[in-house]
Structure 1
Amino acid sequence: MKKSSILIAGGGSTYTAGIVVMLLEAKETFPVRQIKFYDNDKERQQKVAEACEIIIRERAPEVAFSYTTDPEEAFTDVDFVMAQLRVGKYALREQDEKIPFKHGVVGQETCGPGGIAYGLRSIGPIIELIDFMERYSPDAWLLNYSNPAAIVAEGTRRLRPDSKVINICDMPICLEDIMARAIGLKNRKEMEVRYFGLNHFGWWTSIQDHAGNDLMPKIKAHVAKQGYTENTPAGQHKEESWLEAMRAGKELLEIEPAFLSNTYLKYYLMADETVEHANKSYTRANEIIDGREKEVFSECERVVQQNSAKDTTFHSNEHASFIVDLARALTFNTKERMLLITENNGSIENFASDAMVEVPCIVGKNGFEPLTMGKIPTFQKGMMEQQVASEKLAVEGWMEGSYQKVWQSITLNKTVPSAKVAKEILDDLIEVNKPYWPELK
């Protein structure tokens, strides 16, 4: 059985240890011969890498491991690049959230002006990763988790249209696991879904079990009572901002009772309530800085100090399992059905062919084939057209260094009330993003 060489780009991420654990847990069905880390932050990566080196040594000593800040060393001899970049780290995420809030607009990492700001930081580094991969391992695949996936996907479509890049997101996967547990199933793999939309902007139209039984009524009944919150251990100990988004599923079902909505639609359809109830001085970024960020690096330090990971709290999760499942499907031609972000090209019949949409695809060794979702209703089509236009303008603004197009991008975003407010937000965002954005004229 083929053994793969994996490069995790963004080796210092708080998600990296979970991906490593998942790779080791999956070694019977997806064997790996080598795991590498690459990051431009040497010190941060080293803290994660030293702990992961111990985990690999104890659980799979036959797997080679290395970490580096040198592109040639990192990208040579790899089959998959698993990219999870956070350009600007949490310090800039905090600004992505707090600057819009200052102007009475939703402050969120991937939605609204904050998502556009993050996208303008992410396009260049992702293109750089693609170029490194094609120079040193031209047959490899880049599996991109880096946010905001919609803008990054449009950027890769425009700038590297022939590259072996697959853009993915774990949020629908997380929600599908919640749905499955809520109705007594083991996990999402016991369900077959139909879904259409954009990244962080979509709807489930059908969910069945493998025998073809309709599961939507049971799931909707749960969501109508308590949104996507769940009465299981997996649903406990979540940050309040996360739980608030899960609870919003109830209101989203009232707005669109025919389908099940991705929770991120809360930020577009319930923007006024989101702003009203938000803690604008202590946002989701602060929760993560004080929570997961500290927990991960504290656990890395503990593992290194005791020189053992036998009792580590690091574990696999939806984020890790999805990207490993995708790599396995590409390697072993499993024909697994997975939600991917892809150029539409008729998958949604009455939608722009060049839009980057999120739909189920069949994945095999030659790539993936999107399933046909047919025509979509006017409400969803109208929202998606506005959002796609905003995302395309953001990418064009980055490519052309155009202040006008980025301003138009923010103005078109449904979370923003006017062009005047959009301009005020943009001017504030430019100040904090100067090291990362192209100069806008």
Structure 2
Amino acid sequence: MKKFNLTIVGGGSTWTPGLLQSLCKMKDRFPLKKLVLYDIDEERQKPIGEFAKILFSEEYEGLEFSYTTKVEEAYKDVDFVFIQMRTGGLKMREKDEKIPLSLGVLGQETCGPGGFAYGMRSIKDMVNTINDIRKYSKDAWILNYTNPAAIVAEALRRIFPDDKRILNICDQPVNLLRSYGRLLNMNPNEFEPVYFGLNHFGWFTHLYDKNGNDLVPKIKEIILETGFKPVDAEQRDKSWLDTYAIVRDMLVDFPDYLPNTYLQYYYYPDYKVAHLNPNYTRANEVMDGREKRVFEECRKVVEKGTSKGSSLVHNDAHSEYIIELAESIAFNKHKIFIVIVENNGIISNIPDDAMVEVAAVVTSNGPRPLAVGKIPTFYKGLIENQLAYEKLTVDAYFEGSYQKALQALTLNRTIVSAKKAREVLDALIEANKGYWPELK
């Protein structure tokens, strides 16, 4: 079986150790010859890199492993690149969440003004990263987790329109599929999903089992009766448990389809603002929780000199999903994944140049999206509003346009008021000096 060279961008991410563990677990399915971790922060990456050395010495015989901050070492002669970067780190995420909340509107990582700020920071680094990769490995497959995925995907579509080996993805749909599996006591790997929308803004219309039975009616019934929890509820922070619990409310109000959890921020922005702590947000929860746990455990492994008995816990969906996607590309598996692609008629009554999130059969030539057809007026209206916000955000970045930025935030359902949008925009401009282009 062919072995591949892989680079992980964001080697210092708290998600990386879990991904490394999954690569060991799935080494017979997606075998590697060489693995490189790359990060711009040498100090942050080091404990994870040293953890990886020990892990692979015990779990991945013959793997050539290194970690680096040098672009050429990271990207030369690679077959796949997994990207999970966060421009500005968790400190900027904290500002993304707290600044809007201080002004009375939603503060969330990828939705609303926080997602706008994060997207404006991400574009430059993502474009530079793609250019660096293509300089050294023109045919590598680039699988990108970087958020906010919808804004990043739109920006990359404009800059690299002919690059068919960039694939933007999100793990939340597969987290939901696994959670439905828990709900039904079924294997989610056997589900065939029908899904449409934008990233963090979509719906499951059908979910077929291996015999062709649609499971959506049963899932709705159970959620309405007993509520909804993530598949890994016992490992999740309280904010994530709350996020899943509100799916029941969304189904009561809009029972047509199973919603992505992120839709709560657009359906109920006032409710979410009232129930979020402006002084202790999800960023603080991550910094005090997962951030500390992961780095402490990596250091313990290095001190002991063995990964055996490690209590490092990771999100299987996040790590296994991207590896399974790479496997389907590498070995032409024709498996169905939910991915972000240019619309081109997939959803027939929204613009062709929308970057939509839909189910696709993934082959060695990339995704072959499955047609959705026309969608009802309510969902079409929601999507077109959100799509306009995303496109104007990317316009604002490339044109350095304050006016486009103001239009984007005014359209966003988490703000609506133009006066409030201006107030929030001015505060975010001040906080993001050095990260955003100057808006005039």
Q: TM-score of the superposition, structure 2-length normalised?
A: 0.98
- For 1:177, the equivalent position in structure 2 comes to 178
Q: Tell me the distance in 2 between the aligned counterparts of 1:309 and 1:295.
A: 15
Residue type of the alignment partner of 2:146: S
Q: TM-score of the superposition, structure 1-length normalised?
A: 0.98
- Name which of structure 1's ranges 262-271 and 213-222 shifts more when overlaid on structure 2: 213-222
Cα deviation, 1:179-238, whole Å, max 9, x if unaligned, reads 11111113x2121110000000000000110110121122111221344216x7x32242
Within-5 A mapping of 1:376-387: 376-387=375-386
- For 1:320, the equivalent position in structure 2 comes to 319
Q: Tell me the distance in 2 between the aligned counterparts of 1:190 and 1:222.
A: 20
- For 1:58, the equivalent position in structure 2 comes to 58
Within-5 A mapping of 1:271-286: 271-286=269-284
> Does the alignment pair 1:262 with 2:260?
yes
SS, match of residue 236 in structure 1: helix
Residue type of the alignment partner of 1:185: M
- For 2:248, the equivalent position in structure 1 comes to 250
- For 2:168, the equivalent position in structure 1 comes to 167
SS, match of residue 143 in structure 2: strand
> Does the alignment pair 1:68 with 2:68?
yes
Q: CA deviation at 1:255?
A: 2.0
Q: CA deviation at 1:133?
A: 1.1
Alignment: residue pair count:
438
Query: What stretches of structure 2 of length at least 5 have no aligned partner?
Result: none
Cα deviation, 1:163-184, whole Å, max 9, x if unaligned, reads 2210000011101100111111
- For 1:349, the equivalent position in structure 2 comes to 348
> Does the alignment pair 1:418 with 2:417?
yes
Q: Tell me the distance in 1 between the aligned counterparts of 2:228 and 2:140.
A: 37
Cα deviation, 1:353-395, whole Å, max 9, x if unaligned, reads 0000000011011111111001101001001000000000000
CA contact under 8 A between 2:122 and 2:147: conserved in structure 1? yes
Q: Tell me the distance in 1 between the aligned counterparts of 2:438 and 2:310.
A: 45
- For 1:149, the equivalent position in structure 2 comes to 149
SS, match of residue 207 in structure 2: strand
CA contact under 8 A between 1:110 and 1:116: conserved in structure 2? yes
Q: CA deviation at 1:315?
A: 5.0
CA contact under 8 A between 2:96 and 2:108: conserved in structure 1? yes
Q: Tell me the distance in 2 between the aligned counterparts of 1:128 and 1:228.
A: 40
- For 1:129, the equivalent position in structure 2 comes to 129
- For 1:113, the equivalent position in structure 2 comes to 113
- For 2:437, the equivalent position in structure 1 comes to 438
Q: Tell me the distance in 2 between the aligned counterparts of 1:315 and 1:93.
A: 23
CA contact under 8 A between 2:332 and 2:364: conserved in structure 1? yes
Q: Tell me the distance in 2 between the aligned counterparts of 1:226 and 1:279.
A: 27
Change (3 A) 1:126 1:226: farther
Cα deviation, 1:26-50, whole Å, max 9, x if unaligned, reads 1111111111011100100111111
Cα deviation, 1:270-297, whole Å, max 9, x if unaligned, reads 1111011111110000000000000000
CA contact under 8 A between 2:7 and 2:75: conserved in structure 1? yes
Percent same amino acid at aligned positions? 49
CA contact under 8 A between 2:409 and 2:416: conserved in structure 1? no
CA contact under 8 A between 1:21 and 1:314: conserved in structure 2? no
